[in-house]
Structure 1
Amino acid sequence: MADGGAGAGGRPAFLGVERSLSGRTWRQRPADASLVRHHMQALGLDEPLARAMASRNVGADEGAHYLKPTLRALFPDPSCFADMDAAATAIVDAVKRDASIHVFADYDVDGAASAALLIRWFRAVGTEASIYVPDRLTEGYGPSARAFDTLKAGGAELVITVDCGAAANEALAHAAAIDLPVVVVDHHLMRAEPPRALAVVNPNRPDCGSGQGALAAAGVVFVLLAALNREGRRQGLFAERAEPDIRRWMDLAALGAICDVTRLSGFNRALTGLGLKVMSDWSNPGLHALLKAAGVEPSEAKVSHAGFILGPRINAGGRIGRSDLGARLLSTDDATEAARLAAELDALNVQRREVEREVTETAIRRVEATGAHADDSPVVVVAGEDWHPGVVGIVAGRLRERWRKPVIVIGIDPVTGVGKGSGRSQPGMNLGRAVQAAWEEGVLLAGGGHAMAAGLTMHRARLNDLVAFLHARLAAERVEALADDVLDIDALIEPGGASRDLFEAFEQLAPFGPGNPEPVFALSGVQAREPMQINGGHIRCRLVAPDGGGLRAVAWRCADLPQGRALLSGQGGLSVVGRLKADDWNGRRGVQFEIEDVADPRMA
């Protein structure tokens, strides 16, 4: 670390940190000075907050809507989505003729929320639609010919796929061949040629001009509900019943957006923020029951509620339990059923955490014994027999955070030798494209995804071939990603100045996520006092400045990493970066510092 050195992108390294203990460069988040002044004057903001807004690319004419977003100002015309009008017409026609409608959903939170949105709209117009969620282990992801045969044999007259289907060209061709009408509502990357269907609504299809590619599937479905209301009015569907007020279901759209880690900008950010306000009423029986099962008291809903309390429990059904539990929970109006489903999901989540812990620990030992995490290779691929396919994605994410390079974790069936894997990537490295290319080259049985995540199926015998292919494919991207592996910082603060007022001022920027990152603060010259390692490899301590000002702090899963060892040593003079969190334990209304990274100025 050299004081005053140039960081990534030619900007000075913040606090001179060119290489932290996690290997990253620190730099101040860039902001246009004239835009900062504009936000200060037009909105009456202090400089740090105005600077944070400018650094998040909030334009001069966007500040008011950013701070107080409304659907009226930001809701897109549904017709700007390719095939949206065709989808709405097909669905309303099916409702009017009392057709048997089936919602085919993915097994994750976004799929469950998307399905529940449609089920609730159908119920509001007097139609009971059915839910079909494929089993992760026996059916895999998305539509299949077998699933469509099952639905056809069961009397389905219209199938609506949500959060899946846009790339299932072969399965959709089979549905067309057996005369099963399908509407696809998705957000995943797809081939240039859309599948055969009545409509394919996807803001990420090449010919869609909506500009709403950041939406999760639940967000796309929410726009579809607006289109359905409009088409319903045109066809007289509400002559004898009230038009559904879709705003009461925004909590489900927010849940999908947060748990699918979508880009929170523009309309998607507004929908998520307003959806959290709806969620705060906890009027959805399933969400309320799940909160209770988790032992959490109802309060103002935050991103953390969706991402760390509700989401993992909903996902547990698809990962290691029954795949339809989440969709059923979010769509039920029966409090008794909601309580039963929530209890089942909470129990499954406990099991999931234990399975995840075992796989994570084994994978870490296996990789670090070989040094594959620390060499110049662009990706880590680790496989093990009987690793549950439902947790490999979570484990890949944990290891990606630990080693700061893309990681693919594969669970192999010891009988068939077939492995199912999931990968998580680093910014600047398109893992999904590389996995797709490996499938096209015949290395994989199936594979694809997007830039930051990918899934695959392969035979154990091709494992070395996959490693070699990915190393060659991603080598150049790794060089660029390393140069840009930085931690952007919003402001330097003192431990004594980390007040609740400062926290609440920056909370005006919420909800946080990709595209609208949570504010990151730096502390300089602090000592970790009274450090204590707790279960899970976490560390609690007090960060104390030379003037005696202190701040309660926590660092997650780092006790065996360089930054964790520095904290546990109790040494002084550290630079620390992290985020302010509310600390309301026993009504104290304080703040806590969640440590992201540590630098030791003595290490050059």
Structure 2
Amino acid sequence: MTLVKALPATQWKIRETGNKELENSLSKEFDIHPIISQILANRDLAGIEGTRRYLNPSLSDLHSPFLMKDMKAGIQRLLKAIHNNEKIVIYGDYDADGITSVVILFKFIKEIGANVTYYIPDRVQEGYGLKNKAIDKFKDNNVNLIITVDCGISDYDQISYARSLGIDTIVLDHHAISGTLPPSVANINPNREDCTFPFKELAGVGIAYNFLIALRGSLRKEGFWKDENYPNLKEYLDIVALGTIGDIAPLIDENRIFAKIGLELIIAGKRPGIRALKEVSGIEGQIIDSFKASFCLIPRINAAGRIASPLDAVALLLTEDMEEARTLAGKLDIYNRRRQSMEKIILNEILEKISNNPDIEKINALVFASDKWHPGVVGIVASRLVDLFNRPAFVISLKDGIGKGSGRSVSDFNIYKGIEQCASLLLSYGGHCHAAGISIKEDDIDEFACLLDEIIIDSGQFSDLVSQTIIDSECRLKDINFSLVNQMQMLAPFGSKNPEPVLCARNIKVSSPNIVGNNHLKMHLTSNGMSCNSIWFAMGGYLNKIADTHVDIAFTPQINQWNGSSDIQLKMKDMTILL
């Protein structure tokens, strides 16, 4: 089922021209186009020096990891385990953030000779977080220390149980904190109120990477590497970038540094697992940006944890053998195709329900449940619903009267704080501002949906359900040239809180629209003697509406490379048909 909205499909909001003096200073200092300086000035980058750091991300700009509360205690406990040859287990989540966190921690700690293994629970059989049955296995195997990554901060009872068995725990987690901290040796989470680390929006893998920086520094002080030939942590950033981008962490501050350098390493393709993943994704030899990582590489990593075994993804990123990497990448590709098929079936079923509901426009929270849906793909479907209807959504998989659901939200509503107010109806919950997971009795789902709807209304955080397109600057077609587009790439990588710039041009003539590929709308655009090709992804439904019209357009210019030649193509975001 395809939805075709009226044009414009979104509400346009044009950023006001801000500090002209700053814009002029930026243009002069960095020799950049006025449009680029306007975009930078509006991104609140703390003046010339802040802009310089933004344009030139460097590992030297990382904050000290020891600013994180409990970092010193966590490192000291791990050093003790390493020196005493204690058994260590790294316990992670089954999504891309958790998988990459496990990989970098295991790889580093294993390579320095420690007695370490890893464990990721099965999504369906075990579920999210630390479990007592797993702890019992660790006890039977004489494990002394558990390091949780991308989970653990909400596992008070389980960590208490581990402690009663003589097993210590170090928690590395970025999720929102609710209630009492668990009795761990260290609870390392920038979201702690008593944590002075200045950047609060790291993904789990970003916290794990900071932990490794602190660990390596402590080992160097001890003289652990006699020849000073210590591991180069920069080489881990391709993996860190995948986890950071995959968790939709804001690409600012440390996350921007990780993503920028990591994507360069992904393009270089030295790691066999990532090279094989690029091959099976059909993007070998291409420039890999945050979008290609998000839509080609990361879904295959996530698919392993969603519908099969996340251990295949861990093995892929750890292997040094190219043939093994190709075999594992092939398995992940098969998982991803199965995931896509499941997702399509669930989404179409929900869209059918929505089309038959005359009151859908009055509903602020979309909540759907079924015992036919695989719990591993409900989060993706929730994301698609948010994209389509611009309101928070929960999709719940039912089994034996219990629902496991994933929620996603719009930027204006903190979904974690929302479900906190529904705690009396939930068996368990966790997450952060844009994504959350819940466990709920089937009989309580309708009441949960009604309560969440009321909470959204009462929040007053967004008054309507119309998606917005934020326009960074107005321009003319003749302003768009290779120099401008290349300068725009200096702002990459793009993602949450560092969006791809969107420009607006007025009174543009549309000609020769046609559908290419998977329902993509290709058009030729003309204004005042200047012309340009454009592409509007997945918007073939507008074909008959726009032929030979004049329009205002919202777009991002990009360089399109094809058969050895390059031209400028406008990637459409929205348009208004002029009467």
TM-score of the aligned structures, taking structure 2 as reference length = 0.94
Superimposed CA distance per residue, residues 116-167 of structure 1 (whole angstroms, 9 cap, x where no aligned partner): 1112212331235212111111111111222222222233221111111112
Deviation at 1:81, TM superposition (A): 0.5
**Contact 2:272–2:322 (Cα < 8 Å) also in 1:** yes
Q: Which residue number in structure 2 is paired with residue 554 of structure 1?
A: 535
**2:552 corresponding residue in structure 1:** 575
1:385 aligns with 2:371: yes
- Across the two proteins, how many residue pairs are aligned to each other? 573
Partner residue of 2:3? none
Q: Does 1:376 align with 2:353?
A: no
Q: Does 1:287 align with 2:274?
A: yes
**Aligned partner (choices 113, 118, 122) of residue 135 of structure 1:** 122
Aligned AA (1:123): K
Matched, 1:464 2:441: no
Structure 1 residue aligned with 2:82: 95
The match for 1:357 among 344, 354, 362 is 344
Residues 357 and 40 of structure 1: is their aligned pair in 2 closer, same or farther, counting only changes over 3 Å? same
Which residue is equivalent to 2:57? 69
1:253-290 deviation digits (Å, cap 9, x = unpaired): 21111111111222221222122222222111111111
Contact 2:549/2:578 (8 A) holds in 1: no
> Are the aligned partners of 1:101 and 1:130 in contact in 2 as well (CA < 8 Å)?
yes
For residues 211 and 46 of structure 2, the distance between their equivalents in structure 1, rounded to whole angstroms, comes to 29
Residue of structure 1 in register with 2:520 after alignment: 539
CA offset at residue 402 of structure 1? 0.9
Provide runs of 4+ in structure 1 moved above 6 Å: none
Q: Matches of residues 147-226 of structure 1 in structure 2 within 5 Å?
A: 147-226=134-213
Per-residue deviation at 1:568?
A: 4.5
How has the CA–CA distance of structure 1 residues 137 and 29 changed in structure 2, closer, same or farther, with 3 Å as cutoff? Answer: farther
Aligned letter for 1:585?
A: W
Whole-angstrom distance in 1 between the partners of 2:192 and 2:465: 31
CA apart distance, 1:601: 4.0
Aligned with 1:404 (options 371, 374, 390): 390
Shift of 1:29: 5.6
Aligned to 1:504: 486
Give the Cα–Cα distance (whole angstroms) in 2 for the partners of residues 427 and 20 of structure 1: 22
* Aligned match of 2:303: 316
Give, as a single letter, the amino acid of the residue that structure 1 aligns with 2:458. Answer: A
Equivalent residues in 2 for 1:461-540, closer than 5 Å: 461-477=443-459, 480-482=462-464, 486-495=468-477, 497-533=479-515, 538-540=519-521
Contact 1:24–1:485 (Cα < 8 Å) also in 2? yes
User: Per the alignment, in what secondary structure is the counterpart of residue 130 of structure 2?
Assistant: coil
Rounded Cα–Cα distance in structure 2 between residues aligned with 1:366 and 1:524: 38
Aligned equivalents of 1:569 and 1:186: distance in 2? 49
CA distance in 2, matches of 1:457, 1:535: 40
**1:486 counterpart letter in structure 2:** Q
Once residues 509 and 375 of structure 2 are traced to their aligned partners in structure 1, the CA distance between those partners, rounded to angstroms, is 42
8 A Cα contact 1:500 1:589, kept in partner: no
The residue number in structure 2 matching 1:253 is 240
1:326 aligns with 2:288: no
Q: Distance in 1 between matches of 2:130 and 2:557?
A: 43
Gaps of 5+ in 1: 1-18
Alpha-carbon offset, residue 25 of structure 1: 3.3
- What's the CA shift string for 1:338-370, capped at 9, x where partnerless? 222111001111111111111111111111210
- Look up the equivalent residue of 1:411 and give its one-letter code: S
Q: Which residue of 2 aligns with 1:594?
A: 571
Distance in structure 2 (CA, Å) of the matches to 1:156 and 1:595: 55
Measured after TM superposition, the shift of residue 205 of structure 1 is 1.7
User: Which residue, out of 411, 416, 428, partners 1:427?
Assistant: 411
Helix, strand or coil at the partner of 2:440: strand
Which string of whole-angstrom CA distances, capped at 9 and with x for unpartnered residues, describes residues 283-321 of structure 1?
111111111122222344321232111100000001111
Percentage of pairs with the same residue: 28
1:231-250 to 2 correspondences below 5 Å: 231-239=218-226, 242-250=229-237
Tell me: CA distance 1:419–1:45, structure 2 relative to 1, closer, same or farther (3 Å).
same
How far apart, CA to CA, are the structure 1 residues paired with 2:429 and 2:574?
34
SS at match of 2:348: helix
Q: Is the 8 A contact 1:116 1:330 kept in 2?
A: yes
Separation of aligned partners in 2, 1:479 and 1:267 = 28
Alignment partners' CA distance in 1, 2:429 and 2:408: 14
Mapped pair 1:337 → 2:318 = no
Residues 232-269 of structure 1: CA deviation (Å, up to 9, x unaligned): 12333223673111111111121111111111222221
What amino acid sits opposite 1:68 in the alignment?
N
Query: Take 1:156 and 1:280, find their aligned partners in 2: how far apart are those partners?
Result: 39
2:379 and 2:407 in contact (8 A); partners too = yes
> What do the CA deviations read for 1:363-413 (whole angstroms, capped 9, x no partner)?
11111210344x232211122331111111111111111111112112223
- Report what 1:110 is aligned to: 97
1:489-521: CA deviation from partner (whole Å, max 9, x where unpaired): 122334455333321110011111122211111
SS of residue paired to 2:180: coil
Q: Is the 8 A contact 1:190 1:204 kept in 2?
A: yes
Kindly provide the amino acid, as one letter, of the partner of residue 418 in structure 2: A
What is the rounded CA distance, in whole Å, between the counterparts of 1:425 and 1:336 in structure 2? 40
Structure 1 counterpart of 2:31: 44
TM-score (norm 1): 0.90
Matched, 1:21 2:8: yes
Please tell me whether the aligned partners of residues 428 and 481 of structure 1 are also in contact (alpha carbons under 8 angstroms).
no
Aligned equivalent of 1:394: 380
Q: Please tell me whether the aligned partners of residues 144 and 166 of structure 2 are also in contact (alpha carbons under 8 angstroms).
A: no
Given the superposition, is the C-alpha separation of residues 436 and 147 from structure 1 closer, same or farther in structure 2, using an over 3 Å criterion? farther
Alignment check: 8 A CA contact 1:88 1:227 kept: yes
Q: Which amino acid aligns with 2:386?
A: R
Q: Helix, strand or coil for the counterpart of 2:426?
A: coil
Q: Which amino acid aligns with 1:447?
A: Y
Distance 1:530 1:362, change over 3 A: farther
Structure 1 counterpart SS, 2:310: coil
Cα drift, residue 484 of structure 1:
9.0
Q: Counterpart amino acid of 2:402?
A: V
Aligned-partner Cα distance in 1 for 2:472–2:521:
24
